[in-house]
Each structure stands twice: as structure tokens, then as C-alpha cells.
Chain A
Amino acid sequence: MFKFILKDFFLHKKYILSLGILYPLYVGWFGSRLDSPRVYALLAAFMYMIVALFPYTREDKLKAVGLSLSLPATRREIILGRFLTSWTLMTGLWILGTAVALLMSGGKLGAAHLLGLGSILTILAYMTAFLAVFTPLAIRFGMVGLMIFLVAMQVLGIVAMLLRARTQTLKALIGSVGRGVATAQEALGPAGAVAAVLIVFLIVNYASFELSVFLFKRKDY
């Protein structure tokens, strides 16, 4: 599988390196001005996801998917390679961004927040969610998929704000999910809860991977 990561790195080296430096610097700097670990995690995960999905969008833009498909690899292996490349990139950027945020003088979020288990799980949750949603979209719709995703996120944000202002339903729903998680956490204990969360992340990744493979296999190039 290493050859897939290597291939994507060679093919997109310039972009991965330039954005891979710029984005963690930006996230680190911006993150040091934030006082909410959750907002920081959301911002970081979103920015890193954009870099991680670069190979898809560039391949789509340059109509170069035929290169991957001409190589001795199944479509399933190609998608698995993509997931590995995405996670390798996101993890690398996350480490770099966290280091920048910690080194920024006057940062409001210290090491306790940035490196705490809660923060790590939160950022993993966002990265998992973004990747799980966007990867199938990128495979099915390419660059347009990215746009659909971004617009959908914005619309969702607006709808959520409107709903929040007009009704208590959304707040109650979020509250009930939160309470459910808290109850599960209590029942499982700290270690069990972390393991359960990680298993959920794996399941979401796997589901997204299978959906991506399904969509990729159905496409003509």
C-alpha cells in the first residue's frame, strides 16, 4: 500500500508541500487565538481534509484517473490507497499544526487542551466525519462534489442557526445525544469509552470506504 502513498506524493508533491506547510501554519496561528478547543478542532480538521482530498480533486481536474486505473491494481486497492494517503496527510498536518499552535506565543489553548485526550478524539471525530462524507462525494462528483459539500455545509449551518433561534428541538436533540454519550461513557468507563469511540471511527471509515469502492466500481472513465 505504500506505493499508493508514494505515487500520490510524487504526483502532487508541490501542492502537498506548499499547502501542507501553509495550512498548519495558518491553523496553528489562528488556533492560538481561539479559546475553544472544539472550534479549533473543527477548523483544523476541515483545513487538513482539504489538503488530504487534493489528490482526488486534482486527478479529477486533470482527468488523470486513467493513470491509476492503468496500473496493476484493483479499484478497491486504489480507494484503499486513497484513504491511507488521506489519513497519512491529515495525521502529518495535524502533528505539524499542533506543534505550531504550541509554539505560538500568547496562545490561549495550551498543551493540556491541544494534546488532551478529549481534543484528540474531537479532532479525530471531525476528520473522520469530513473524510467519510466527502470521499464518496469526490469519487461520484469530482470537483463538483467538493462544491456541493461546501455549499451543503453552509446551508446546514444556516438551517441549524435558524432552527436554534426558532425552536428548541435541535438543542434538545443535541442535548439528548450528549446525554446518551455521557451515559455510555459512565457505563463503559474511561478506557472503554475511548475504545468505543475509536471503534465507531473505524466503522464510519470502513462504511465510507465501502461506499467509495461501490461508487468507484460503477464509474466509466
Chain B
Amino acid sequence: MATVDYALEIKGLSKSYRDFKLNDVSFALPKGYIMGLIGPNGAGKTTVIKLILNLLRREGGEIRVFGRDNREDEVEVKRRIGFVHDTPFFYDHMTCRRLKDSVAPFYRDWDEALFRRLMEEFDLPLGKRFSRLSRGMKMKFSLALALSHNADLLVLDEPTSGLDPVFRRELLGRLSAFLQDGGKSVLFSTHITTDLERIADFVTFIRDGAVVFSAAKDEILERWAVVKGGPELLAEEHRGLLQGVRKREFVVQAVSADAAEARRRLGKTALIERASLEDIMFYLTRGNGHA
């Protein structure tokens, strides 16, 4: 049996704050694929990313990047990762050129020609102050830095939030192009699930600090369904089949993680539709648990 090479493996990760707990988070991203990390605001996506980066200290579990522990081999791991943060940690008053000058010496594989080419492609002026860049331009600049040291894994925290659709498409196109160079992988946190439906190969859904599911996107979209029907859906026999139940006076809506079984048991009495990632996230976040 062929073994899978993972770009990122997270096992039993935990971290607690006074009012939030990341609990036993586990998922794995095979080499050469894009994984979307989805979840509502405050679900723990940024915490996971900060733990990968060692900005936060984990309390338990394991994080391996290309088989290396992210704390024991911190330097080598960070060399192979390109990070794009939701709020870039750059000094606002500095020009793009100076920011690049302060970052580039840390990477032995820094490709100056590639950086210049990306800056041109992204229409970013080197002499412009970071504070004067629009949010989209800031993201592009962060991406240019992340790509210019030939990272093998890109980790992006909400890169498309607050951006217009044109730039979002451009960014997604760029990520797909990045993958064409074999062996590159992307972990992409977002709450804009339509972006993921375009490009992601795997999806991990986090809610309240715990993983709800982590699987191939196509498998998820095939397996999950939206179920709409009358109050009979609340019957005890359907308990376990339906999740994220939303009740109105005469209508009950929910999602099911077993579309085939839902069709078999409820096909005659309820409307069963293909679920999008957004549907799944919405019902599991806003619904009231099981039927």
C-alpha cells in the first residue's frame, strides 16, 4: 500500500484561553493539495494557524510540517512555509522595498527575480508605503513575499476577506498556479466558502474549537445534503440522521451527513438537496443540534 506524504499533519492539538478552548484538533493535508479551513468567526481557525507558526504555545498535541515537528525544527519548518496573515504584521510606515529588504536575508532560497516579477504582475510599486496600499494590495504584497522564498507550503489566514470578487478570483488563480509546481501545498482559512468550492481539494470544518469534519471536498459535497420538510422530521427515528436542525412553525430544515440514507428514508416526505459548504457551515453553526 502506498504511503501518503503529508505537507501538514496536526494531531490532538489543544490550546485553551479563559473563554475559548481548542480541543483535540486533528487533520492532515497531503502534499500537492489545497485544504480549506472553514468555520464561523471565533471557531479557532486563526488559533490553529498561529499554533502552526508558533506564535502561540500549544498545550497538547503535535504539529508536523513535511514530517518535522514545528517546534523542534522551527527554523527549517518556517523556511518551507509562506505565511499570509489576515492582518499583516508589517510596519505601516515602511515601503514595500524596505520591508522586503528586512525579510529577504532570512531566507536562503530567496528569489529576488521572482519577487520583482510578482511585484510587477501584481502592479505593486516597490517605493510605496505599506500604509498606502489597499487591503487587496497588502494581501498581494504578503503573497509576493510568501512566494518569493520558494515555500513548499502556503498558509493563508483569511486572505480573501474584505476583498472584491475580481481580486479574490485573481488570488485563487494564483494559488492554483502555485500548485502546478509539483509538491506545493496550501492551507487556506476562510469563511467565504464559495472560494473553496472553486479550488480546494480538502476541507476541514472547525466549530467551537473542535473539528466537525475533515475530508476531500468532493466527498463532503457528495455525502452531505440539505433536508427540508415538515415537523415529522423531528421524529425520534430520525435522530442521528439530521444535524443543525432549524425549526419554524411548519417547516423543519437540517443537514444530513449521509445523503444516501436521507434520500432512502426521507425521500418521499422531504425535499433533499445537494448541500454547499456554506449550507453545511450555516446549519451546523446556526442550527440546534440533532433532530
Q: What is the interface of chain A, defined by CB distance below 8 A to chain B? A: 3, 6-7, 10-11, 13-14, 62-67, 69-75, 77, 217-218, 220-221
Contact = CB atoms under 8 A, between A and B. Distances in A.
A14 to B, nearest CB: 8
A9 to B, nearest CB: 8
A63 B89 CA distance: 7
Interface residues of B, number: 27
13 contacts: A7-B103, A11-B91, A67-B91, A69-B53, A70-B53, A70-B55, A71-B106, A72-B78, A74-B74, A75-B54, A77-B75, A220-B55, A221-B56
Contacts of A7: 102-103, 105-106
Contacts of A67: 89-91, 103
Most B C-beta atoms less than 10 A away, residue of A70, A74, A221: A70
Interface of B: 50, 53-57, 74-79, 83, 85, 89-94, 98, 101-103, 105-107
B216 to A, nearest CB: 30
Contacts of B98: 10-11, 13
A13 B93 CA distance: 11
Given A11-B91, A64-B90, A64-B91, A72 B55 contact: no
B54 to A, nearest CB: 7
Contact of B55 (A11, A13, A66, A217): A66
Top 8 A-B pairs, shortest CB-CB distance: A66-B89, A72-B78, A3-B105, A10-B102, A67-B89, A72-B79, A7-B102, A71-B106
Most A C-beta atoms less than 10 A away, residue of B55, B75, B89: B89
A3 B89 contact: no
B55 A74 contact: no
B274 to A, nearest CB: 39
A108 to B, nearest CB: 41
